[in-house]
Structure 1
Amino acid sequence: MDKLPKIALPTILLIIVAIILVSKSAIVIGSGEAGVLYKTFGEGVVIDEPPLGEGFHLVAPWNKVFIYEVRQQEVFEKMKVLSSNGLDIQLDASAWFQPRFQDLGRLHQEKGDQYKERILLPAIRSAARSVVGRYTPEDLYSTKRDAIQNEIFEETKRIVEDQYIQLNEVLVRDVTLPATIKDAIERKLKQEQESLEYEFRLVSADKEAQRQRIEAQGKADANRILSASLTDKILQDKGIEATLKLSESPNAKVVVVGSGDSGLPLILGNN
């Protein structure tokens, strides 16, 4: 067997080392992700340059890349809070958020990859306790829930706006009241609804009575005007017109002119 050339062994070793170095240096960042570069022999976390975007990257093998998800995410939280009158309320909420891309290096340096547990969730709890503490259970059960949700969002956003987190929305999924309080509120709402319905019926009946009075008054005024305009002469003329029309009928009859009490014709036959 022929011996390998003297240069072959070092070449093979160099190729192996190069493959190892490339494999250690090659970084692939997936869709919706970004990388924070850490320079071991430099300034550490790189914060004055944009994060590494999606795709293939080559970095020095002694450096590190920390990958973060930068698209919108959702976090859920169940918490117990107190209403304005001190009652325990269970609140289920979720938040839509994402780390701010341009501040990803600072987020990694100051907060770390556990920023959701360290920053976001405590902020949601604090905001929820503060907001719910200003409302009664009746408010939480009614249509004011949307207003409460908006207030929690605004207060949470104010807390995290300087923490390199972009808060997109806070959603109140469910509000659970003590059973006795819930039943009492439902009874009260039912009574209020029945009272409103009764008042509506009274108003409707009053309007109908007013309509009937106006209609009756109109008819009475019309009859009074008509009666005032009907003189004896007009009545006699109307009677004569009606008698003439009857006399033109083909049916046999006897008409006596001027024999009535008022001088109107009399019809004596109708065969």
Structure 2
Amino acid sequence: MFVLSILLLIAAIILFFVGRSRGEGGWKLGAALSALGGVLAGVFACVHVVSAYEVGVPATFGKVGTPLTSGVHFRSPFTDVTSFSTRPVDLNLNDKDVVEVRSSQGGVLYADVTVKWAVVPAKAVELYRLAGSAEAVQERLVLPDSREIVRNVFAKHTSEEGYASAREQIGSEIATLVRERLASRGIDVTAVNLRNVRPSDTLQDQIDKKIQQEQATQRATEAARTAEAEAERRRIEAEGIARANRILERSLSDQVLYNQCLEAYQQAARANPVYAVPCGTGSGGTPVIVDGTGN
């Protein structure tokens, strides 16, 4: 715009002198219009409008100035203004951009992460010096830093912790580190979401084999526990029987057995006339006879 202004002013001067030499009013009118156009172009070249939700960083001959907030600003025609959007931006690390990480055991995992970030207006100058443009902020700062932190955090945990037991803790740790890293560079991270973690095919096979081995071990342990309990039950039962036999052995005598035998045959004699009792003999060697009366 400034170059156009210079060209229009030069054209106005040429038209003015040509018109004066020829004495024709048309040339002078053209000179006046060219001069007006040059002045307007010069004015527009010195005016810069910063849109809402943007911040501008002016640079004049390599010297960076104070950030420009939203509104109309007058500047030198030799000043270039680089605009940075202050709206939140989502960086989605999924699909082809998914982060490939390794656990402390060497297993490969794939993590889907979303980083929501925005430019801090007061630190736009630092971002301009680091990235150079709004488009480069995400590619040069947010993306590589986020990937590095995600990989470093997962490397401190096992595979099982990465996709299951410590997933929430890992997500919180990633969010904290990303915020701290990017805040010093003029980027405000409002949210970091660890949306999904899945193992690689090789790691999934290893996980399935481990689960099968654990299940087999549990079945074997349960079988051993059952056998041990059954053996203990039989031991206790055998000890009880042996103890009862010892008690019974101490309590029985020949006379007790003789009397019990007689009682049994006395009961049988009630249904039959006479029994010769094979329980022994009487005191004189005479066989014991039990008649129908039970005597």
**What TM-score do the two structures reach when normalised by structure 2?**
0.56
1:17/1:186 CA distance change after superposition, 3 Å: farther
Q: Which residue of 1 aligns with 2:286?
A: none
Q: Per-residue deviation at 1:101?
A: 0.8
How much identity, in percent, do the aligned residues show? 22
Give 3-state SS (helix, strand or coil) of 1:117's partner. Answer: helix
1:186/1:154 CA distance change after superposition, 3 Å: farther
Match of 2:84 among 43, 47, 68: 68
Match of 2:137 among 112, 115, 120: 115
Q: Which residue of 1 aligns with 2:40?
A: 19
The yes-or-no answer on 1:58 pairing with 2:74 is yes
Which has the larger helix fraction? 2
1:85/1:59 CA distance change after superposition, 3 Å: same
Q: Which residue of 1 aligns with 2:58?
A: 37
- Segment drifting more, 89-98 vs 52-61: 52-61
- Answer whether contact 1:138 1:185 (CA < 8 A) is retained: no
Q: Per-residue deviation at 1:67?
A: 0.8
CA RMSD after TM alignment: 3.1
Q: Which residue of 2 aligns with 1:171?
A: 193
1:187/1:89 CA distance change after superposition, 3 Å: same
Query: How far apart are the structure 2 equivalents of 1:185 and 1:31?
Result: 54
Aligned length: 188
Query: How far apart are the structure 2 equivalents of 1:170 and 1:185?
Result: 31
Query: How far apart are the structure 1 equivalents of 2:56 and 2:143?
Result: 24
Matches within 5 A, 1:107-186: 107-113=127-133, 114-179=136-201, 181-182=203-204, 184=207
Which amino acid in the other structure matches residue 38 of structure 2?
Answer: V
Match of 1:81 among 93, 101, 122: 101
Give 3-state SS (helix, strand or coil) of 2:184's partner. Answer: coil
Q: Per-residue deviation at 1:75?
A: 1.0
Residue deviations 1:203-231, cap 9 Å, x none?
A: xxxxxxxxxxxxxxxxxxxxxxxxxxxxx
1:83/1:157 CA distance change after superposition, 3 Å: same
Give 3-state SS (helix, strand or coil) of 2:106's partner. Answer: coil
- Answer whether contact 1:36 1:105 (CA < 8 A) is retained: yes
Which amino acid in the other structure matches residue 14 of structure 1?
Answer: A
Rg bigger for which structure? 2
Which amino acid in the other structure matches residue 158 of structure 2?
Answer: T
The yes-or-no answer on 1:102 pairing with 2:115 is no
Q: Which residue of 1 aligns with 2:12?
A: none
Give 3-state SS (helix, strand or coil) of 2:109's partner. Answer: strand
Q: Return 5+ residue gaps in structure 1 as ranges.
A: 196-271
Query: How far apart are the structure 2 equivalents of 1:87 and 1:63?
Result: 53
Q: Which residue of 2 aligns with 1:240?
A: none
- Answer whether contact 1:82 1:132 (CA < 8 A) is retained: yes
1:79/1:36 CA distance change after superposition, 3 Å: same
- Segment drifting more, 130-139 vs 178-187: 178-187
- Answer whether contact 2:153 2:170 (CA < 8 A) is retained: yes
Which amino acid in the other structure matches residue 27 of structure 1?
Answer: H
Q: Per-residue deviation at 1:105?
A: 1.4
Residue deviations 1:36-62, cap 9 Å, x none?
A: 11123xx6111xx3x222233332222
Which amino acid in the other structure matches residue 26 of structure 1?
Answer: V
**What TM-score do the two structures reach when normalised by structure 1?**
0.60
Which amino acid in the other structure matches residue 130 of structure 1?
Answer: N
